[in-house]
Amino acid sequence: MSPAPPSPRPGHRRAWAVAFVLALAVNLWVLYAPRVPGPPGGLRLDLLGHAATFAALTATGLLAGIPTRLLLAAVALNAVVSELVQHFFLPHRSGDVTDLAADVVGIALGVLLHRWFTARASRPPRA
């Protein structure tokens, strides 16, 4: 296993922590707010929302310095539990395996964003 890339400057962790809390709030709103009817024709634009919020949640959490395994386990658990809650307890929502797949894609994108950002931040400045 390769060593973890360097994390962003310590002074930036607080900003990333604030971004993580905001991403979490948006994520929870997207998952539990009453569903707005989508456009006709079956386009599932909500899947982009699922993927985007889970990508933001994962990337900002990693950049805030939350341990990788802990964060990934918590975010994945959030994805599964949210679909179960929607299915069994929210009459205005429905749990959907497609939504769960979009959540997992978002988590993977968040990891890739974190890797890209930390690799970019570790490069020496151009002269």
Q: Are 54 and 107 in contact (CB under 8 A)?
A: yes
Query: Alpha-carbon distance 101 to 37, whole Å?
Result: 20
Q: What is the pTM of this model?
A: 0.85
pLDDT at res. 8: 56
| Count of all residues that appear for the chain in the document | 127
Where does the pLDDT of residue 2 fall: very low under 50, low under 70, confident under 90, or very high at 90 and above? very low
Rg (C-alpha) for the chain, rounded Å, is 16
Residue with the larger pLDDT of the pair 114 and 12 = 114
pLDDT tens for 28-53 read 998 998 876 666 666 788 899 999 99
